[in-house]
Structure 1
Amino acid sequence: MPKVSIIVVNYNYARYLDERIQSFLNQTYQDFELILIDNGSTDNSAQIINQYKEDKRVRVELFSDNIHPFLRWNRAVESIKSEYIVIAAADDSCDPRLLEKLVEKLDANPSVGLAFAQSWEVDSHGKRLRSCKETTDHLDLERWSQDFIDKGINECQYLFLQCTIPNPSGALLRREIFDQAGRLSTQMRMCSDWLLWAKMLTISDIAFVAEPLNYYRESTGGISLRQSVEGSIRETEETLKVLLYFREAGIPSPNNFCEKKYYPLLRDWLKMLSFKHPSFRANLRILRLFQRMGLRTNYQLLKYIISEVLQRKVSNTYRKIPSFKREHEHTADLSQ
């Protein structure tokens, strides 16, 4: 039984598959199995994947239907017995030393449930654009500048503000902790990995390798879901669900949480309500999530949103929105 199972789920990334597969097969650490799953691709992905099926390290699973990719990853985990797992995207790549460095961290630190390496963001041709460290420098300039082992709860203080683990492909997960955390949520599209990290790090510790050993393509096609109106609304809703997990799990938020995350999130949502004609039902869910956060909110401002903005977009249906309870009527000024 191999110590590491690498699970690659692919959908129409034929142009990147050889690079992705070779980047794992050429690892300096070789005690692994590589599970290649095609999720109903319509390009020539299956043909490329089949070229590797004779390799004893490779298992090929081809499906004609396209379903939620996180469901494919979760089902694949059910079929393996490895101690460690990698949840890998088909359009990414990595340095040959990625597994070696991350396995060392988990082997030497039994309390660590998640080890990850810094990532390079690359373009569609593989050209390095920037280190993903730049995306976390505003949180702490020094923390991700060198290797560390830390309590998972300490990393949660940063996860409250953003997903500090930029790409699942660069992470090695302890299978036991992955299972305890409930695996990947198939109810999310954009923040499932963020929620998974949150759940894993409330029950285990974290290890980090500062050298960028993972190569991450942020977007490989036209307008991404994250850039679309639907994507903006979905991301707001899913972000609130991650934040609610922390609050309901009793994890204390950082002192600057409201100023750095909560208020900007609320303000951005207000802008979307005014200019992007979003779905009424989706925004009703978001409103209720904000209510469940139980933080200081400007009741008069939210009342204005309900009575003015939503009234213009969905005739009369705004009356169905339940009123905020009196304990949420605070004076924090979010209108500036």
Structure 2
Amino acid sequence: MTQTGTQVARVVFTRGGVDESIHEIHLAVVDAGGMPVASCGDPDLVTFPRSSSKPVQALPLALAAPDLPADELAIACASHAGTAEHRLAVLRLLERSGSTVADLRCGTHPPFDPAVAAELIRTGEAPTPLHHNCSGKHAGMLLSCVLGGWPKEGYTEHAHPLQVRIRELHAELGGVDLEQVEAGTDGCSVPAFALPLAAVARIFAGLAQPSGEHAQALERIFAAMTEHPFLVAGPGRLDTTLMPLVPGLVAKMGAEAFYGMGLRGGPRGPLGVAFKIMDGGERARAHVALAVLEALGVPLTPELRALAPTALHNWAGREVGGVRVELPLAFA
């Protein structure tokens, strides 16, 4: 079905004309029908989308709450930065299920936004679970439990009915058998599901052109993420900056340098894209995303190119190296 074994893509960081660091990437592109369009490396590579799975994890919520405001659906899909706007959206979602911050089982980490993190240090305050980038997803899961008639207790466990359903949705939307969806545990304690790259690309193609029994809910997720890109990530982060610059694009980052994109209006029609940078080198992610979009016919404006500079400068402002992308896409 796919061109397994084609040449991997690479992002190469150079210094003084010498290749200093190399990131290898596997990538899959599929059309709205789930058929392969292009690939680099192994499109059947089984890997964890991590937070790129959040639109799927939010689907039970979108199905159960068709009137949920778009900003609250967006925060349920988010890997947010912990700003006040993000935290308030999470609190509104918690209130709907009669839950509080104490019910969140995501844990706590310093907020991703440097200004918010610095303010906590200045005031001597400790971060709370609200600052965790996954708190919106967890708040959405709590509401899904209430609306689905499931217990909130144990909602992060693999055997909980909500997580069983989310695994089934990964298989359904990815076009694979349930046995092909492997399970681990994510950094925020919910199950993390691994599946082939091409299957994740199908999930994002399904966001770009929803069809089937979940079409309306998927369309609402697409609209929520693209209309509220700030809530999906935050200041200066790739999802937030990229989506407004490419009309019809939904994009979601995942930990360890995974990325998923659904492109609605490109010259090749609706497409789904998924790629994994194998060493987890997240600095290469924007370079790959832009190179793929350009290869698929999206013109790169100066604003887009600025997201992935090709020149490297040191702290004194001197140009000391560069970045090049090698993207040997094999088209089907």
TM over 0.5: no
Task: With the length of structure 1 as denominator, give the TM-score of the two structures.
Answer: 0.29
Tell me: higher relative CO, structure 1 or 2? Use CA pairs within 8 A at least 6 residues apart. Answer: 2
Task: With the length of structure 2 as denominator, give the TM-score of the two structures.
Answer: 0.30
